[in-house]
Structure 1
Amino acid sequence: MSRRKRVLIVGGGIGGLSAAIALSQAGCDILLIERDANWRALGAGLTFNGATARAFKTLGVLDRIVEAGYVHGTSRVCDRFGKVLVESSTEEVYGRDVPIMGGILRPVLHRIMQEAAVERGIRYRTGVTVSHWCEEPDAIRAYFSDGSEGRFDFAIGADGLMSTTRQQLWLDAPRPQFTGQGCWRAVAPRPVNVTTSELYFGTEYKAGINPVSDAEMYLFLLVPEPDNPWHDEADWPELLRTKLSDFGGHIGSIRDHLGSGSLINYRPLETLLLPLPWHMGRVLLIGDAVHATTPHVGYGAGLAVEDGIVLAELIREGASDLFSAFEERRHDRCTAVVNGSIALGRLEMEGAPLANQRTLSQEIYDVIREPVF
């Protein structure tokens, strides 16, 4: 009987947790480390499409996500006042019992993934980072910030857009690039008549809402910010109210109830697409550490979840050159989503006709719908 592969995963976010669960299911012995001693999830809500739900089902966590979040079968395109212009089809396209769209609070999703990892007996350590690496003939040795060390068959850097792993090993790697847009997010009570996602067009900004639980919904607003200004957190409620001033419908109602106690988040949109190879020796980068996209098609988390599942599938298949096989499977798909999302944001900033934006969005979704595993 062959020895279990010992794998170090750096980063305890959605990508790292997904890889930990998938590789554990493939028989690997996992150690996951997370720099945050409290292992918290940052952010507000998360919109996911059917391909992401399909990946969650493969991991075995979809039922919990459906129970804790909110899923539905349509999306609506509205004018700035909330009048419905287009409603999507409810046709099943991602597989039996796989919802077309959904939403969930990020901290809730994070808790579900943590619980699933713990239930599998996955070892984890928090408040720890890798200080440096040492490549050996048949292993990678990691030296940790607490003075300990470990020896592994391979390691995965799933530590996000500002990946320390990437900075340590890819000395000439490109840095994340600002796209010219900023994204505002807020969580608000969900009225009973908000049962699907809605996108609002008709101003220089694009806004949307999506239910994330029986009681809550999530608002996003994409705005052009060519100078990439910094906004003081204390000013966020008033700034967001001002930027939403031209909207009506449900978004207008959310705006009118924003205050100092509202859960609001703002960040400039940055992307990264690392040229191949995505591995250095026995260390592989996944998720936002290597292919960070914008939220335009709601698939950043989906790509990260897929990464871990594909890697586990290749291990089961006995791929002789694991990392090269992974890159071959993932590069084109991830590149299409990242570049397509950037192009969609560019169309928004240029004020392109809605029909053009919808055509490009459909092209990206055609890629996303393709079977992965």
Structure 2
Amino acid sequence: MTQPRTVLVVGGGAAGNAVTILLRRAGVAVDLIEAKDDWNATAGSGITLQGNALRVLRELGVWEEVEASGYGFGSVGITAPDGTVLHVQDDLRTGGDDLPATVGMQRPRLQQILIGAVRASGATVRLGTTAEILGQDADGVAVRLSDGTEARYDLVVAADGLGSTTRAAVGITDRPEPTGMAIWRIAAPRPAGVVRTDLAYGGPAYIAGYCPTSDTTLYAYVVEANRDRTTIPPESYAEEMRRLASAYGGFWPEITAHLTDPAKVNYTWFDRMLVEGSWHRGRVVLIGDAAHCCPPTLAQGAALSLEDALVLAEMLAGADSWDDALLQAYHDRRIARVRPVVEASVQLGQWQLDGVRDADIPGLMGRTMTMLRELP
């Protein structure tokens, strides 16, 4: 009897979980390791999932759970800082007409759904575990895990995020770079009238927005120029976000009332990265944020990561040989789709940083989202 191929997936975020589920379905033996003991099951506030992300989640078999747990909607509102609605634009259904244009949901809930699917797939999971690449040849990779065990795999999939240690370990020197913007985020109760994402431009921040994440919750965010994080003590996070958010009207006063606990406020810089050249070295291949990241101006970070997982798993499952040509073909297929999204996401923010008033924001967004309707 032929032994199944073996894959080590490093990282248990959206990309790592998705590729694990899909490879197990194809009969591949998968070990998934995650550095954090809690598997990131409680981290984060909210996430906006565009239709092309929902398309992959449906392929993973978790769409019904996502639909039941999140909040689907089909438009975005543009408001003045005082809350006056200036324009409502229908969202493009990038996942097809049989899926919502957008679903907002609590990020921990999405992670819990994916964790359940990984567990059900029969993959071996080790939490609180990291990996060291000992060496590789044309047929596989030797790995030592932080628990002291050593193993050999046909392939290692690096899904360990923006600061990927696996990426660095195989000699890929690309690193994330700040774009000049930063974001404050919080999860809060949803005012009854919030039924879509609304974005306010102007005021003390570049953007103040919110997204419903369930029948009872939303996440809210305020985008400003990035600041030296060492000058912002974590205990002041709620006060800082409240100071910015209090300048906005409409539903913001109800949201701002919940900005009291600094531990519930998240502050991060926007970064950009796109690994140039191939996304693999031998039998180690990058997916998701380990290969690319972009500001959330198009809400495509998770979607691109999920698409990476889908495409890589599809190509591996259909190939007799997992060779350099196959992994290069994976890169070539993905880069044509990922590059325009990363560049557009960065450009949308740069126009705001530069104060460009006549920028073709609707046109750039429309062209990019239309491209994403095509299958990855």
Query: TM-score normalized by structure 1?
Result: 0.94
**Corresponding position of 1:272:** 273
**Corresponding position of 1:15:** 15
Amino acid at match of 1:342: V
Instruction: Give the root-mean-square deviation of aligned CA atoms.
Output: 1.9
Deviations 1:282-325 (A, max 9, x none): 00011101101111111101111111110121123327532111
Equivalent runs, 1:33-182 vs 2, <5 Å: 33-41=33-41, 42-89=43-90, 92=93, 94-170=95-171, 173-182=173-182
**How many Å separate the matches in 2 of 1:255 and 1:287?**
33
**Corresponding position of 2:375:** 371
**How many Å separate the matches in 2 of 1:63 and 1:100?**
15
Amino acid at match of 1:107: P
**How many Å separate the matches in 1 of 2:306 and 2:94?**
19
Following TM superposition, where does structure 1 have runs of at least 4 consecutive aligned residues deviating by more than 4 angstroms?
90-93, 226-230
Deviations 1:4-51 (A, max 9, x none): 221100001111101111111222111000111221242211111111
| Segment of structure 1 superposing worse, 2-11 or 56-65 | 2-11
Gaps of 5+ in 2: none
* Paired residue total: 371
Q: CA deviation at 1:273?
A: 1.0
**Corresponding position of 2:356:** 352
**How many Å separate the matches in 1 of 2:348 and 2:53?**
20
Aligned match of 2:342 in 308, 321, 338? 338
Question: What is the SS of the residue equivalent to 1:249?
Answer: coil
**Corresponding position of 2:219:** 218
Amino acid at match of 1:209: Y
* Residues 292/230 of structure 1: CA separation in 2 closer, same or farther (3 Å cut): farther
* Residues 163/261 of structure 1: CA separation in 2 closer, same or farther (3 Å cut): closer
Deviations 1:152-210 (A, max 9, x none): 11110000000010121125x12210110001111110122111111111334211111
Q: CA deviation at 1:133?
A: 2.6
Q: Is the 8 A contact 1:141 1:151 kept in 2?
A: yes
Amino acid at match of 2:349: G
Question: What is the SS of the residue equivalent to 1:234?
Answer: helix
* Residues 340/145 of structure 1: CA separation in 2 closer, same or farther (3 Å cut): same
Question: What is the SS of the residue equivalent to 2:276?
Answer: coil
* Residues 193/127 of structure 1: CA separation in 2 closer, same or farther (3 Å cut): same
Gaps of 5+ in 1: none
* Residues 38/257 of structure 1: CA separation in 2 closer, same or farther (3 Å cut): closer
Q: Is the 8 A contact 2:234 2:263 kept in 1?
A: no
Percent identity at matched positions? Answer: 35
**How many Å separate the matches in 1 of 2:231 and 2:280?**
34
